[in-house]
Structure 1
Amino acid sequence: MHDASAADRRSTAADPTKPMPFDLPAQPLASALESYSVSSGWQVLYNSRLAAGRQSSAVKGEITPGVALRMLLAGTGLMPQYRAVDGAILIPDPMATLAPNEIADEVDPSLKGYYGLIQTKLERAFCASAAIRAEGYRIALGFWIGPSGTVTRMMLLSSSGRSDIDESFDRAVRSLVIGAAPPAGFAQPVVLLVTPELVGKCGAADPGIGPIRTAQ
């Protein structure tokens, strides 16, 4: 069962204009993003290369999730691109001073489009799993996509707390068929932070038959 705080986070995720408490110290960006995802209930998808070696800014106070994410990213050279009411993909900030390859990530629309495709496929895969759909779980994972557009390797970064659920996520990710090869310059692995709110998008219909909510 979800606790009261999880219910509050689901409510906030449905209303991104509602402030909520944050108390996130400055820390390595990858761990800051995981803490942010737990606190806010937002899904965050990003390239692991972009987070490497970067430090987050501290976030403290009653703030909306969107503002909190921008505060957390201040000074990192990254910015959120919102893919849904409660989700974001991190991309290089074109106004920041970045390495040439990171600027290319921002300029090339095929990279951003590919991230959106991955997100849609992941949501469908998770909603199609009865074990994952039964109750929300928090988990962080990384994966690699081969030239055929299929997942070639999956790595668990943080456990859901249940080995059977971890295995369900592993199977769901490994069975992904993205349908297209990664575009040139697409660095891997891709890192995904999953929160309990994700299964709230599945609805009563079988996501393998009917559409689920995708990015706007």
Structure 2
Amino acid sequence: MTRTSASGGGLTLSWCLVMALVMCAAHAAAADDPASDAPALHFDLPAQPLARSLAVFGHLTGHSVLVTSRLTDGREASPVQGDFAPRDALQRMLVGTGLVARYTGASAFTLVPAPATTAVPDERAPTGAPTAGNAPALQAYAAVLQGAITRVLCIAQPDAFGRYRLAVQLWIDPAGAVTEARLLEGSGVPARDATVLASLRTLGLDTPPPAALPQPVTLLLTPRPDPARDCRPYLRARTG
């Protein structure tokens, strides 16, 4: 996954984000990637719900995150005010939340509970977390999800797909049908956001999700370099 930039940021949909979690789980014992030489950015984040701070952080930095609402609900981010490199700002934001960031690339991360210091379990932590053993199943499902989401959004918005930033959460039932889609961060065009949500709510996959898939699945769309090329196979099949 890459950050959104003029150099061709990729469309980081849930398939990339799911794979980020897989890689994090498979290499949980490995040290995090060393901090990059990213330039400092100005942050002015108050103490507020963690999910809100993460959305603003992603918008400012272009970093992508996969985290379930079970992990963020009820947690408050610490204030971050001043000029910091993105990873330093994120570390400050997470102070007191009981969570730490694990980077799976230069600008992609997931959040995991901090190493336990007591025997008292954190009931807010998600159960059934992915492990190295079920990583192949999640990776395979990520590919299925990639094609399905690209197809429905290309058909619904052939002239807009891949040209905006938007974040949503999806709930997928055991049969593979999306049962709910909720907006986390709008694209700035309410009508477009409504079309995306309506399209995703009709999504059904022939492949059921693996039991280890964290839900809801967080979906982050960012501009991609050649969206017309990505949509071409789906539009050709529809008209052919």
Name the TM-score class by shorter chain: 0.5 to 0.7
Is 1:126–1:199's contact at 8 Å kept on the other side of the alignment?
no
Which protein has the larger Cα radius of gyration, Structure 1 or Structure 2?
A: 2
State the superposition RMSD in angstroms. Answer: 4.0
Distance 1:134 1:70 in 2: 30
Is 1:13–1:86's contact at 8 Å kept on the other side of the alignment?
no
Residue 33 of structure 1: SS of its match in structure 2? helix
1:179 counterpart = 2:207: yes
1:21 counterpart = 2:42: yes
Q: Which residue of 2 is the match for residue 39 of structure 1?
A: 60
Q: Give how far 1:54 is off.
A: 0.5
Q: Equivalent residues in 2 for 1:62-211 (5 A)? A: 62-95=83-116, 98-99=121-122, 102=125, 104-105=127-128, 108-109=131-132, 110=134, 114=138, 118=142, 121=145, 125-126=149-150, 129=154, 130-133=158-161, 135-137=163-165, 139-171=166-198, 173-174=200-201, 175=203, 177=205, 179-183=207-211, 188-192=215-219, 194=220, 198-200=222-224, 205-206=229-230
Distance 2:97 2:42 in 1: 22
Q: Give how far 1:33 is off.
A: 0.9
Q: Give how far 1:18 is off.
A: 1.7
Distance 2:73 2:111 in 1: 13
Q: TM-score normalised to the size of structure 2?
A: 0.62
Q: Give how far 1:48 is off.
A: 0.4
| Structure 1 residues 153 and 115: CA distance shift in structure 2, 3 A | farther
Q: Give how far 1:168 is off.
A: 3.7
Query: 1:20-75 CA deviation, whole Å, 9 max, x = no partner?
Result: 22221221111111111121122222100100110112223332223322221222
Q: Give how far 1:147 is off.
A: 0.5
| Structure 1 residues 103 and 140: CA distance shift in structure 2, 3 A | closer
Is 2:44–2:82's contact at 8 Å kept on the other side of the alignment?
yes
Distance 2:89 2:144 in 1: 24
Distance 1:119 1:71 in 2: 34
Distance 1:54 1:112 in 2: 31
Give the letter for the 1:125 counterpart: I
Distance 2:136 2:113 in 1: 11
Question: How many pairs were matched up?
Answer: 197
| Structure 1 residues 107 and 156: CA distance shift in structure 2, 3 A | closer
Distance 1:172 1:94 in 2: 40
Q: TM-score normalised to the size of structure 1?
A: 0.67
Residue 133 of structure 1: SS of its match in structure 2? coil
Q: Tell which has more relative contact order, 1 or 2 (C-alpha 8 A, sep 6+).
A: 2
Task: Give the share of equivalent positions with the same residue, in percent.
Answer: 28
Unpaired runs of 5+ residues, structure 1, are 1-7, 210-216
